[in-house]
Amino acid sequence: MGQTITEKIFSEHAGREVKAGEIVRVDIDMIIGNDITTPISIRAFEESGAEKLARPDNFCIVMDHYIPAKDIASANQAKISRDFAYKHDMKYFFDEKDMGIEHALLPEKGLVLPGDVIIGADSHTCTHGALGAFSTGMGSTDLSFGMITGGNWFKIPETIKVELSGKPGEHIYGKDIILELIRLIGVDGALYKAIEFTGDTIQHLGMADRFSISNMVIEAGAKNGVFAVDEVTEAYLAERAEINGGLRAEPKIHYADDDAEYCQVIKIDVGNLSPVIAYPFLPSNGRTMEAAAEDHLKIDQVMIGSCTNGRIEDLRVAAEIVKGKRVARHTRMIVTPATQKILLQAQKEGLMETLIEAGAVVSNPTCGACLGGYMGILGDNERCVATTNRNFVGRMGARTSEIYLANSAVAAASALAGYLVDPRA
């Protein structure tokens, strides 16, 4: 029996052929920490007696949740990571001078690559599977073990194969595909499984769409999501290499065998998909755009950004929709580019001018609003259309507030109308 992409990545790292269900110890290619979770890892690292990182060039810290600091507590929290990074003269430490949301910044820097085994103390570390890597979230103490030893233990997950067919229609993006998958299988439908995305639809999906899809597999309980490397991936990597003066390492490309064993096969006809809206209070509570529009829900805030949908493609979509128009009087619109480079590119293209003239406020790259930290907290009974990844109770503020997950076109169109509307109308 052949192997899936995930099995092949672990086989290459283990130095032998492995299958789903096995527990293996392998080296980690990139460990990712942030300002929220890394202090716990640092404390465990120091309490262990370790004096240096096992693989210093395979560990990075990205300050992205409460940066710039919102209060004394977050400032002191950030200081722990800063002091550690300076003490160990870390090569890959990203603070306010070169900031971004970690799951957008690392691919941009060419630091996560096909064939890598990647862990991060953030559940949306699975984003990097879009590049043909195994990437997953772990706890902070798991990270410290990797910092100390350079590796970790993994139980190789079974793989669900998702076959995507058809060309996406108008204003159908990766966000809609992943919301439809989560709607079909539920928030625990892929518990501790890998999800491998295949099918003729993928040729129509840019990297931004693939990142969005991989980013949200955790919302179905998956361990990781992965796409096979193709011409789109290769072009993206070539661009990263040109911009950054090379990639961190040589990519290791793996493809599933024709006779690979999958625990489940799910088929989605993307050609007939409409925008999908996830109603409160679960990402699995998806409804078609047609059904959602009939509810005529008044919207208090729109948030475009996050590690899911804060890329230049999202800003282009939003700017095209709001150009020459004005955000509804009773609605606030927040735009959060995922990295400084994306922000600069948006400025060069005139997108920032268009968005601000329409009434949007632009924040620095941060996870702040998405996790209910700052830069967009919701008040009692307020509704928000967000391009983020979670709509749990109290996720962005008050426990009585509501979050409706959607793509960037739906968010922008709803900002103009002040109600949840179809951008195709």
* Other Cβ atoms closer than 10 A to 409: 26
Q: For residue 370, say whether it is annotated as part of any ligand binding site.
A: yes
Single-letter residue type at 409: A
Q: Select the CATH number that applies to the domain covering 5-268 from these four: 3.30.499.10, 3.40.640.10, 3.40.1640.10, 3.90.1150.10.
A: 3.30.499.10
Q: For residue 126, say whether it is annotated as part of any ligand binding site.
A: no
Does this chain's domain 5-268 share its CATH topology with 277-417? yes
* pTM (global) more than 0.85: yes
Q: Select the CATH number that applies to the domain covering 277-417 from these four: 3.30.499.10, 3.90.960.10, 2.20.25.240, 3.30.70.260.
A: 3.30.499.10
Residue pointed to by tokens 């590796």: 151
Percentage, residues of the chain above pLDDT 90: 99
Each domain of the chain, given as residue ranges in start order, spans 5-268, 277-417
425 pLDDT higher than 90: no
Give the integer Cα–Cα distance in Å for 340 and 337.
7
Task: Please tell me whether the peptide bond between 107 and the residue prior to it is cis, using omega within 30 degrees of 0.
Answer: no
Please state which of the ranges 206-220, 321-335, 363-377 shows the lowest mean pLDDT: 363-377
Q: 30: pLDDT confidence band, cut at 50, 70 and 90?
A: very high
The strand pair at 151-155 and 23-27 is best described as: antiparallel
Q: What is the mean pLDDT of residues 191-210?
A: 97
Task: Please tell me whether the peptide bond between 10 and the residue prior to it is cis, using omega within 30 degrees of 0.
Answer: no
Residue pointed to by tokens 């003239």: 357
382-414 pLDDT tens trace? 999 999 999 999 999 999 999 999 999 999 999
271-301 pLDDT tens trace? 999 999 999 999 999 999 999 999 999 999 9
201-260 pLDDT tens trace? 999 999 999 999 999 999 999 999 999 999 999 999 999 999 999 999 999 999 999 999
Structure tokens at 274: 């409409």
Question: What pLDDT does residue 36 have?
Answer: 94
At a CB cut-off of 8 Å and minimum separation 6, what does 42 contact?
A: 80, 81, 84, 144
Q: For residue 367, say whether it is annotated as part of any ligand binding site.
A: yes
Task: For residue 117, list its beta bridge partners.
Answer: 134
Tell whether the torsion through CA atoms of 171, 177, 178 and 181 is positive or negative.
positive
Q: Which residue has the higher pLDDT, 425 or 322?
A: 322
Question: What pLDDT does residue 1 have?
Answer: 80
Percentage, residues of the chain above pLDDT 70: 100
Give the integer Cα–Cα distance in Å for 274 and 268.
12
